[in-house]
Amino acid sequence: MSLAKRALICAAVDHSIKGVLIKGPSGTGKSVLVRAFAEVLPERDVINIPQNITDDQLFGGLDLEKAVSEGKAMVSGGLLSRTDGNFVYLDNANLMDGRTLDSLMECIESGKVILEREGVSAEYLLETTAIASMDPSERDIPDSIADRFEICVNIIPEKDFRERAEIVRADMEHRRDISAYHEDYRESDAETASIIKSARLILPSVVLDRDDVVTIVKICRELNVGGHRADLSAAKVSKVLAALDGRAFVTDTDVSDALVLCLPHRRTLRTREKAEGGKVFELIDDSAEDIQPDTEIVEDVPVLVEEFDEEAEQDQEGAADPGPLEPSASTGSRYDAIFERAKEALDEIAELEAFRLHEIAGIRSKRAPLSMRNSGRYRGFRVPKGKTSDPAFDATVRAAAPYQISRESNGLSIKIESQDIREKIRVRRKSCSFIFAVDVSGSLVKGGMMGIVQNAIRSMLMESYVKRDRVSLVTFRERVAEVAVPFTRSVEMICDTLEQAPVGGSTPLASAIIVSRDYAVNYLRKHPGENCYIILITDGCATTPAFPCADAMGEIRRIAPVIKDPKIEWTVINSGGVYDVKRKDDARKLAEYLDARYIDIKDLGEY
Amino acid sequence: MTSKKRSFPFTAIVDQDEMKVSLILNIVDPGVGGVLIRGEKGTAKSTAVRSLANVLPDVEYVRGCRFRCDPSHPELLCSECMSELEAGKRHETEKGPIRVVELPLSATEDRIAGTLDLEHVLQTGKKRFEPGVLAQANRNILYVDEVNLLEDHIVDLLLDSAAMGVNYVEREGVSFSHPSKFILIGSMNPEEGELRPQLLDRFGLCVDVVGDKYVTSRAEVVMRRLEYDSDPDAFIEKFRPETEALREKISLARKRLKDVEVSQKMVEVASNIAIYFKMEGHRADITLVRAARANAAFEGKDSIDRDDFRTVAPMVLTHRVKKKPFEKSGLDRGELEECIKMY
């Protein structure tokens, strides 16, 4: 919990930190923490933004009352206009409409709201910080939006029973006697408030020297984090952490702590996956060169360097002075220490974030498809082409409102003409269809992999149970690949069938691919507009060909291009290779043939 | 709609030369046709576009005109300026910088195309058109961040105006049209989804930005941003000489543009490139020549040469080359170089 608290305090000290993302399972006290935080800072409010808010409620729109009574088109500032100088709190931010969240974060980051809606046009400045919380077992926030949050912390449910007991006790007391409880904690709140206040005073004089920035830049790349926001966030937070500690210089611990706060949400599965076998981002370390005065980039740099170095030296007063003679060597060892510390903490966090089914299948937050029929969530409105069967009443009334004074009465309380009519834009969350094709041949049994595979599937299925996805199971061994469980929402049925499935024998991999694919194609024929994801769990060593031929693996290579279908996406999870390194490449080759995502079962988390 | 807020100086953006050049070429010659900036999150795409405001030159327009009509092009005047001209009135003019008009994602149709001016109706009983974003964008820059996330019906509106240079409004009992010629600048993160082909084709240039790969450059980005955040005014002041110089250079290039010689030979080089890379239609050829001419003007040259094509051809071709499946970018720079040298 203390990490989350620290994150919020950082945002309170430095208003240029515009976003804090808190991840944690439900019931870990995310909202409680944010509310308690609000009490620490009496001068800034925390304003709650509900997840189903519409664009005009949030950003503002036409002032309905003024329009009807005076016929004037005036702007009614939305909820956002009231958050200037305060914090906004987005509970379950991941469930918010992606575009609304994107627009909101864009406004907060740029400090400006541009409003062009329903006949009104306005622009206002906005200074606020977003605190968002989300339950990671639900869908994730798209990477590009998450990147707009400087800081991300994961709340881990307390495992220690004494700590847990303490939480229960605090909660009981809170409920019994709110005022007394607050009295107890007010003292520590006051203490926190004064730390924040003094940190704010120190912050402008905190010096971050160029070496630290170079270290941050290098570590971000080493950990496969892209974009400049990560570097900048870590630099800012390092300074804030120093200020919180009452120092005007930044220590190595500040830097590594800052990295731990700023990088968890930026090391995504995709970058980790891309990084397999190398770096995602090319980085050329020219930082040692820039000491030579004749390098090109140095031209406009020296001013900064001198300035910062001077001050840093004054402040540090000889503390661990690297000395100008061997700058690369000393920064090297410093770098290693910071890197090790940050990486260890970040890996721990990454492990907590076990792979999720949607991530595994490569379903990224594509734009939700516009719904064809009159179902789905009301997201916005438009002027209909011709007649509409799905009018948006609120928007229609707003469109008609300004004309009420001038229109002739027709006996109704609101006079609506055809040009006022707006229709709804709806979006429907697509449910996904997964086919698990599981290798139950002898090679798996031998390796003792069956249990691991079952656990992996079970944990992936838990998520699809929450999301109401359709899942089916194909198993293959000996000469047969068959649909063992047709598409169902019953996760239990899949688990049971898998447990009871006969195992052992050779591997008819090509047949499994054909059977799964044909089943998917059939299903898609009946459900156009959906996509199908086939997750092939195998060690990739094909032994039995589908058609009489000698080379089972070659057969797969030949059929792969023929069975491609834009609506079917493949993922290969390598269940072999854990004990037998030689076979690891087979599954990878298979993934290449199928143009599939490749994931090693070891990476799936704690099994 | 111009930004009253200070913005990060254009000249303080570290590296990203191709993106900067593509933006400048469009200001030098709006006929280049806009630019689409593609890149991963956090690669200074929107910072660059917003900071353009610092280096934009002045243009002359009819005083008081809502569409900033160009007095030197009578055929492009709005109906109001036109009727004044026909009535024998001489237009008074004034000067002001080109502006960056932003189109927010949450914008609604009526505010983009414009709608009925309500207060005018109530006060005078007469209908009048209330201009929208497309009117403000006339002769300015229209910037759409996350252009790939724009709703389809909004994209249609943009395409119509971009194609004709005129915005026609037929709604709420008003029938109106006004000039709407703008430099369309879009930015997007391709991970979020692709752009509609019709809209993609509309952009004259396209650049793919990637994060810097040099440690010192990346560190410099952070240092400059921190410095800007701690005292924006001082930072802007520090870069003022460079910014002013660039603004002057762009302004000069605009004046020189028409005098840059385009030889028959160079036009043939452009056509040859277009044919080699199997461009459909003539838009690519034309854009190649226009962009090369803008580049020559910006570099202070009297005529265009092969180096101009070396600079602009990748921006013109990147989004137009037919991609083979699973290929990241269809443009082979080695082939391009051969092609430029060959002819």
Smallest Cβ distance to B213: which of A236, A283, A297? A283
Distances A341 to A75, A219, A257 between C-alpha atoms, Å: 51, 11, 8
Using DSSP's 3-state secondary structure scheme, residue B141 falls into strand
Whether residue A8 contacts residue A131, with contact meaning beta carbons closer than 8 Å, is answered with: yes
Note which residues in 89-108 of chain B have CB less than 8 A from chain A: 102-108
CB pairs under 8 A between A and B: 175
Q: Is the per-residue pLDDT at B14 higher than 80? A: yes
Q: Is the per-residue pLDDT at A130 higher than 90? A: yes
Cβ-Cβ contacts under 8 Å, A286 against chain B = 214-216
Smallest Cβ distance to A301: which of B220, B225, B326? B220
Between residues A47 and A299, the one the model is more confident about: A47
Cβ-Cβ contacts under 8 Å, A204 against chain B = 230
Using DSSP's 3-state secondary structure scheme, residue B168 falls into strand
**What pLDDT does residue B162 have?**
81
Q: B1 at the A interface (CB within 8 A)?
A: yes
Whether residue A56 contacts residue A118, with contact meaning beta carbons closer than 8 Å, is answered with: yes
Smallest Cβ distance to B104: which of A116, A142, A287? A116
Whether residue A96 contacts residue A54, with contact meaning beta carbons closer than 8 Å, is answered with: no
Most confident of A348-357, A548-557, B27-36: B27-36
Confidence of residue A24 (pLDDT cuts 50, 70, 90): confident
Whether residue A13 contacts residue A196, with contact meaning beta carbons closer than 8 Å, is answered with: yes
**What pLDDT does residue A381 have?**
80
Beta bridge partners of A120: A117
Q: B56 at the A interface (CB within 8 A)?
A: no
Give the mean pLDDT of B246-262: 93
Q: B234 at the A interface (CB within 8 A)?
A: no
Query: How far apart are alpha carbons A298 and A292 in whole angstroms?
Result: 8
Whether residue A590 contacts residue A538, with contact meaning beta carbons closer than 8 Å, is answered with: yes
Least confident of A166-175, A438-447, B147-156, B290-299: A166-175
Please tell me which residue of chain B has the smallest CA distance to A270: B191
Q: Is the per-residue pLDDT at A591 higher than 70? A: yes
Give the mean pLDDT of A197-216: 91
Contact check, Cβ <8 Å, B133/A116: yes
- Who's near A16: CB < 8 A, 6+ residues apart? A236, B229
Between residues A53 and B298, the one the model is more confident about: B298
Between residues A412 and B81, the one the model is more confident about: B81
Contact check, Cβ <8 Å, A112/B5: yes
Query: How far apart are alpha carbons A507 and A504 in whole angstroms?
Result: 9
Q: Which residue has the tokens 């200037």?
A: A84
Contact check, Cβ <8 Å, B189/A144: yes
Q: Are strands A19-23 and A151-154 parallel, antiparallel or unpaired?
A: parallel
Cβ-Cβ contacts under 8 Å, B13 against chain A = none
**What pLDDT does residue B20 have?**
94
Nearest chain B Cα distance for residue A86, angstroms: 19
A165 CB neighbour count, 10 Å cutoff: 11
Structural domains of chain A, ranges and CATH numbers in brackets? 2-157 (3.40.50.300), 212-318+325-354 (no CATH), 377-427 (no CATH), 433-604 (3.40.50.410)
Give the mean pLDDT of B19-26: 95
Contact check, Cβ <8 Å, B216/A290: yes
Element (DSSP H or E) covering residue A423 = strand A423-427
Contact check, Cβ <8 Å, B211/A281: yes
Confidence of residue A326 (pLDDT cuts 50, 70, 90): very low
Confidence of residue A567 (pLDDT cuts 50, 70, 90): confident
* Residue ranges of domains in chain B: 33-57+98-209, 257-342
Per residue in B145-171, pLDDT (tens digit) is 988 888 877 888 888 888 788 888 876
Residue A245's Cβ-side half-sphere holds a number of Cα atoms within 13 Å equal to 14
Please tell me which residue of chain B has the smallest CA distance to A283: B213
Please tell me which residue of chain A has the smallest CA distance to B115: A119
Nearest chain A Cα distance for residue B267, angstroms: 36
How many Å is the Cα radius of gyration of chain B?
Answer: 21
Catalytic residue among B66, B218, B225, B283: B283
Fold match flag (B33-57+98-209 vs B257-342): no
- Who's near B260: CB < 8 A, 6+ residues apart? B293, B296, B297, B301, B302, B303, B304
Whether residue A466 contacts residue A443, with contact meaning beta carbons closer than 8 Å, is answered with: no
- DSSP state letter for A266: G
Give the mean pLDDT of A276-291: 60
Give the mean pLDDT of B264-291: 88
**What pLDDT does residue A259 have?**
92
**What pLDDT does residue A419 have?**
78
Numbers of helices and strands, H then E, in chain B: 15, 11
Average pLDDT, chain A: 77
Give the mean pLDDT of B220-229: 91
Confidence of residue B26 (pLDDT cuts 50, 70, 90): very high
Contact check, Cβ <8 Å, B222/A232: yes
Whether residue B55 contacts residue B10, with contact meaning beta carbons closer than 8 Å, is answered with: yes
Nearest Cα neighbor of B287 from B271, B276, B298, B302 is B271
User: Per CATH, which fold does B257-342 belong to?
Assistant: Helicase, Ruva Protein; domain 3 (1.10.8)
Nearest Cα neighbor of B20 from B29, B33, B10, B7 is B10
Whether residue A23 contacts residue A266, with contact meaning beta carbons closer than 8 Å, is answered with: no
Smallest Cβ distance to B111: which of A106, A119, A365? A119
Nearest Cα neighbor of B196 from B242, B139, B155, B249 is B155
Query: How far apart are alpha carbons A489 and B174 in whole angstroms?
Result: 53
Give the mean pLDDT of B26-42: 90
Query: How far apart are alpha carbons A150 and A260 in whole angstroms?
Result: 11
User: Active site includes B283?
Assistant: yes
CB-count exposure of residue A28 (10 Å: 0-12, 13-18, 19+)? buried
**What pLDDT does residue A199 have?**
93
Mutate to test the interface with A, among B2, B6, B41 (most CBs of A within 10 A): B41
Per residue in B176-198, pLDDT (tens digit) is 888 888 999 999 988 777 788 77
**What pLDDT does residue A428 have?**
60
Q: Is the per-residue pLDDT at A541 higher than 50? A: yes
Contact check, Cβ <8 Å, B226/A402: no
Per residue in A138-152, pLDDT (tens digit) is 677 888 889 999 999
Average pLDDT, chain B: 85
Please tell me which residue of chain B has the smallest CA distance to A213: B219
Q: B175 at the A interface (CB within 8 A)?
A: no
- Who's near A69: CB < 8 A, 6+ residues apart? none
The amino acid at residue A398 is R
Confidence of residue A328 (pLDDT cuts 50, 70, 90): very low
Least confident of A331-335, A373-377, B206-210: A373-377
Q: Provide the percentage of residues in chain A whose pLDDT is more than 90.
A: 15
**What pLDDT does residue A307 have?**
40
Cβ-Cβ contacts under 8 Å, B172 against chain A = 419
Q: Provide the percentage of residues in chain A whose pLDDT is more than 70.
A: 74
Give the mean pLDDT of A217-230: 85
Give me the DSSP letters along B220-289.
Answer: HHHHHHHHHHH-HHHHHHHTHHHHHHHHHHHHHHHHHGGGSB--HHHHHHHHHHHHHTT--SSHHHHHHH
Q: Provide the percentage of residues in chain B whose pLDDT is more than 90.
A: 36
Whether residue B215 contacts residue A286, with contact meaning beta carbons closer than 8 Å, is answered with: yes
Least confident of A112-121, B20-29, B242-251: A112-121
Q: B174 at the A interface (CB within 8 A)?
A: no
Nearest chain A Cα distance for residue B60, angstroms: 25
- DSSP state letter for A391: B
Nearest 5°: phi and psi at A285?
-85, 100
Q: Is the per-residue pLDDT at B325 higher than 50? A: no
**What pLDDT does residue B164 have?**
80
Confidence of residue A296 (pLDDT cuts 50, 70, 90): very low
Give the mean pLDDT of B82-99: 85
Most confident of A269-273, B212-216, B232-236: B232-236
Q: Is the per-residue pLDDT at A61 higher than 50? A: yes
Confidence of residue A282 (pLDDT cuts 50, 70, 90): low
Q: Is the per-residue pLDDT at B144 higher than 50? A: yes
**What pLDDT does residue A430 have?**
60
Q: Are strands A112-117 and A120-125 parallel, antiparallel or unpaired?
A: antiparallel
Smallest Cβ distance to B42: which of A112, A114, A226? A226
Nearest Cα neighbor of A220 from A395, A338, A300, A382 is A338
**What pLDDT does residue B119 have?**
66
Length of chain A: 607
CATH architecture for residues B33-57+98-209: 3-Layer(aba) Sandwich (3.40)
- Who's near A585: CB < 8 A, 6+ residues apart? none
A50 CB neighbour count, 10 Å cutoff: 12
- Who's near A580: CB < 8 A, 6+ residues apart? A447, A539
pTM exceeds cut of 0.90:
no
Nearest chain A Cα distance for residue B106, angstroms: 7
A407 CB neighbour count, 10 Å cutoff: 12
Q: Is the per-residue pLDDT at A494 higher than 70? A: yes
Q: B110 at the A interface (CB within 8 A)?
A: yes
Query: How far apart are alpha carbons A505 and A555 in whole angstroms?
Result: 19
Distances A149 to A19, A36, A87, A108, A131 between C-alpha atoms, Å: 4, 21, 14, 10, 9
Note which residues in 256-315 of chain B have CB less than 8 A from chain A: none
Please tell me which residue of chain A has the smallest CA distance to B42: A227
Cβ-Cβ contacts under 8 Å, B51 against chain A = none
CB-count exposure of residue A476 (10 Å: 0-12, 13-18, 19+)? buried
Contact check, Cβ <8 Å, A213/B222: yes
Smallest Cβ distance to B226: which of A115, A235, A282? A235
